[in-house]
Amino acid sequence: MINFNYETEFELASEGTISKWIKDAIALENHKLEEINYIFCTDDYLYDLNVEFLNHDTLTDIISFDYSIGKIIQGDIYISVDRVRDNALEYNVDFDEEMCRVIIHGILHYCGYKDKTDDEAKLMREKENFYLSRLK
């Protein structure tokens, strides 16, 4: 099950299409969906979580709390709509594309992909691009 929650004025245009896309990505990664909760929020909301739970005094576009067990995917993914909007402008990409990139980024972390090293980040970006191409 995929749930979309909104702590800001933003709402996804097509929850059904995005849900199917996420489910297909999880299946292609040979994992099984249990439950994912997306919470779309403001910079301030996510900043407070970042400080409280991760001791990071910075803005971020996404924080995920992974409750997965083995290949059974479950977790809470918080996304700052403000940060995604700013990043889309900074990288000169469409807002919806950047939002979908962040949405799938959290799923890829749950499937075991990392992005701490240059090689990991390169593979993560390749996977994001692959799944973005499947959405269009």
φ/ψ of residue 8, rounded to 5 = -155, 175
- With vertex at residue 46, the alpha carbon angle to CA 73 and CA 85, rounded to the nearest 5 degrees, is 95
109 among annotated binding-site residues:
yes
Whether 113 and 124 have beta carbons less than 8 Å apart is answered as yes
Task: Of 112, 51, 49, give the one whose Cα is nearest residue 80.
Answer: 49
Q: What is the DSSP letter of 69?
A: B
118 among annotated binding-site residues:
no
Q: Which residues have CB under 8 Å from 5's CB, separation 6+?
A: 37, 38, 39, 40
Binding-site positions read 105, 109, 115
Q: Which residues make up each annotated binding site for Zn(2+)?
A: 105, 109, 115
